[in-house]
Structure 1
Amino acid sequence: MSRAKVSLQDIAGRLGVSVKTVSGALHGDGSIRMSSDTRQRIRALAEELGYVPNLVARGMRRGVMPIIGIVADGLITQPFATEIMRAFDNSMRADGLSVIVTSTGSGRPVEASIAELQRLMPQAIAYATMYHQVVELPPAARDAVRLMINCRDTEDTIPSLVPAEREAAATITRHLIASGRRRIAFINLPGLLAGELRGAGFRDAHAAAGLAVDESLVRPATRGTYSGQARSLVFEHVAELFGRADRPDAILCGNDRVALEVYGALRRHDLAIPDDVAVASFDNQVEIAARLDPPLTTMALPHRAMGRRAAEILAGHEAPAEAVEEIPFRFVERASV
């Protein structure tokens, strides 16, 4: 018998049982009663014959397919955020589930992306973004989305997974303080939620250590909201900060790209890292952080962990721990502090 053509009817006929009994044994339907011996014989024969379940037919009967849908707000175009999708897809495959991604943005409404996924009868739909943000979903989308990844709903009615930005900033700042640094400049990311939360964590660590934050050392990395198009202010800030008598002894950077600019600016002023000034950052963009001289101490974004955690939730293994679950960064110590 061709292995590709083995059906439930074939197995039932060989063993003299009903198709319903075979389906219950192979598909885990506990409502169909049978002896353990019968279940074992069915499974053994199915394996021997090379039975492959018809997931499409099974999904049609149940009204859902073995699919998880993702509405991606720019996610698949960003090198960091693709780590979410890679970890998520790998975990889903282990559960026999496929991931279908559709994009929104650029004038395409979220409802259209969700409707496109719903035609495929997915088990669940998630909404993911390329950077940490608060998203206002329309009511129809809010009813359809089961989980938000790297973002949260304005009303916090949908379970969300977000990076623990504030705690990450507190951790890296505590490390700078523990290394003996007391005048820490922070060249932060203006206009972004990540920058706002990291600024709060920076202040938390100072308060816990009984230190006052010198607000003159807290500067925006760019003019206007941080983006690849915004004009950088890093060289200007470094020139001003190190042209004064009370210069900083450390610089915390909003991300590794800002740190790359800081390295160049410090070298222009003949300042050595970490002897003259320590430098630390966020992201762990390895092609930057590991290749700088000296290599950069930074906080690694938890995108892979978010992807794996999202897979656990959407595959039904675990429920969200709370309405907004913060996923911790990973501290990566190198030689810049």
Structure 2
Amino acid sequence: MTVSLNDIAERAGVSVKTVSGALHGGSARMSEQTRLRVKEIAEELGYVTNLAARSMRQGWMPLIGVVADELITSPFATEIIRGLDGAARASDMAVFAMTLNGSRDVGAVIEEVRRFRPRAIAYAAMYHKTVALPQEFAETVGVMINCREANDRVTSLVPDEFGAARDITSYLVESGRKNIAFINLPGLLAGELREAGFRQAITEAGLDGAGARVLPAVRRAIYSDRAHSLVLSHITEMMSGPDRPDAILCGNDRVAMEAYAALRRVGAQIPDDVAVASFDNQVDIASRLDPPLTTMALPHRAMGRLAADILLGGDMMPGELHKLPFQLVERSSV
């Protein structure tokens, strides 16, 4: 037999409104003792929330919908979803995602998400970029994760790429490295911001900022890990010339893995001859390289948690841009 709110109210000796407030976060005022008592009775009787009925009353389901812009193909997808899901579950909410890729229209995917009547909708991207949402959906999406809305109409959470590059470069300088080359990711917003942070740190250190070497990791105008790599040729040329670098900063951990192989090929030791540092902290790569790789960890889980707080709290002004800091993970490559 289905257990109703009336059954719980009768057993607890309180009103149905109080039971609803205790179980569903309503506005009814009660002591913590009453709240716990109601929950214990509900569990004892085997009460299960009727989500359809609750949706009819509230106008939404206890869900956060995510428009996943190729996110599921990213190795960092789990970190964003874990952060979002953990914070959502603390508020008795669940998270679901709909994939957006090159063959699907963003408006159609948002409408598909809306059919489930979620409490809120987030837009999460595979990598840091700018996204132009159609005007009619700018108010539908509550927060952008790992991307920025092109017209600043939606609160956006992005990694602080500039700050991360400045910090890791300063770390290399403080470790005694004075001739640092940067093998960067061409054509990406993250690469552009990281180059600016790298040059800022070089200048602040009193080194030759204008002559700092920034080289593309691939031959293509836009970085892809499937594009023809230039890492080996760059390192071979630099290490055979008179101006050998004593540190190489890499655009991501995959590039760093290639740099390790190239340095070994030319007989250079890490970190004795050349220090290597990177971005992303793909643990399966960074921790298994020999020596383990010093890298800047992306704040994906923190972005997911903050996104849930914004969506469920509703106290952020639309259009705010939040830059979340990376975390330095020190290993043995510096």
The TM-score, its normalising length taken from structure 2, stands at 0.91
Structure 1 counterpart of 2:55: 59
Structure 1 counterpart of 2:78: 82
Are 1:327 and 2:324 counterparts?
Answer: yes
What is the CA–CA distance in structure 2 between the aligned matches of 1:317 and 1:146, rounded to whole Å?
A: 9
Greater Cα offset, 74-83 or 321-330: 321-330
CA apart distance, 1:24: 4.6
2:333 to 309, 332, 336: 336
**What does the per-residue CA deviation read over 1:178-204, in whole Å, with 9 as the maximum and x for residues that have no partner?**
011111001000000110010011011
What is the CA–CA distance in structure 2 between the aligned matches of 1:171 and 1:263, rounded to whole Å?
A: 22
What SS does the aligned partner of 2:118 have?
coil
Are 1:145 and 2:150 counterparts?
Answer: no
Contact 2:68–2:123 (CA<8 Å) still a contact in 1?
yes
What is the CA–CA distance in structure 1 between the aligned matches of 2:167 and 2:68, rounded to whole Å?
A: 30
Contact 2:199–2:212 (CA<8 Å) still a contact in 1?
no
**1:143-292 alignment to 2 at 5 Å?**
143-213=139-209, 215=211, 217-224=213-220, 225-292=222-289
Q: RMSD between aligned alpha carbons?
A: 2.5
**1:5-20 alignment to 2 at 5 Å?**
5-14=2-11, 19-20=16-17
What is the CA–CA distance in structure 2 between the aligned matches of 1:123 and 1:93, rounded to whole Å?
A: 13
**For this pair of structures, how many residues does the alignment match?**
333
What SS does the aligned partner of 1:331 have?
strand
Greater Cα offset, 276-285 or 208-217: 208-217
**1:119-130 alignment to 2 at 5 Å?**
119-130=115-126
Structure 2 counterpart of 1:109: 105
CA apart distance, 1:253: 0.6
Q: Which runs of 5+ in 2 are unaligned?
A: none
Change over 3 Å in CA distance of 1:50–1:189 after alignment to 2: same
Contact 1:313–1:320 (CA<8 Å) still a contact in 2?
no
Change over 3 Å in CA distance of 1:209–1:28 after alignment to 2: same
Greater Cα offset, 168-177 or 106-115: 106-115
Identical aligned residues as a percent: 60
Structure 2 counterpart of 1:306: 303
Matched to 1:249, the amino acid is: D
What is the CA–CA distance in structure 1 between the aligned matches of 2:248 and 2:192, rounded to whole Å?
A: 17
**What does the per-residue CA deviation read over 1:165-188, in whole Å, with 9 as the maximum and x for residues that have no partner?**
111001100011001111100100
Contact 2:154–2:318 (CA<8 Å) still a contact in 1?
no
What is the CA–CA distance in structure 2 between the aligned matches of 1:214 and 1:25, rounded to whole Å?
A: 63
What SS does the aligned partner of 2:240 have?
coil
What SS does the aligned partner of 1:251 have?
strand
User: Which has the greater radius of gyration?
Assistant: 1
The TM-score, its normalising length taken from structure 1, stands at 0.91
What is the CA–CA distance in structure 2 between the aligned matches of 1:240 and 1:29, rounded to whole Å?
A: 67
What SS does the aligned partner of 2:313 have?
coil
What is the CA–CA distance in structure 2 between the aligned matches of 1:172 and 1:36, rounded to whole Å?
A: 48
What is the CA–CA distance in structure 2 between the aligned matches of 1:59 and 1:269, rounded to whole Å?
A: 64
What SS does the aligned partner of 1:211 have?
coil
Greater Cα offset, 9-18 or 304-313: 9-18
Matched to 1:231, the amino acid is: H
Greater Cα offset, 289-298 or 147-156: 289-298
Greater Cα offset, 153-162 or 322-331: 322-331
CA apart distance, 1:277: 1.0
Contact 2:153–2:318 (CA<8 Å) still a contact in 1?
no
What is the CA–CA distance in structure 1 between the aligned matches of 2:185 and 2:16, rounded to whole Å?
A: 62
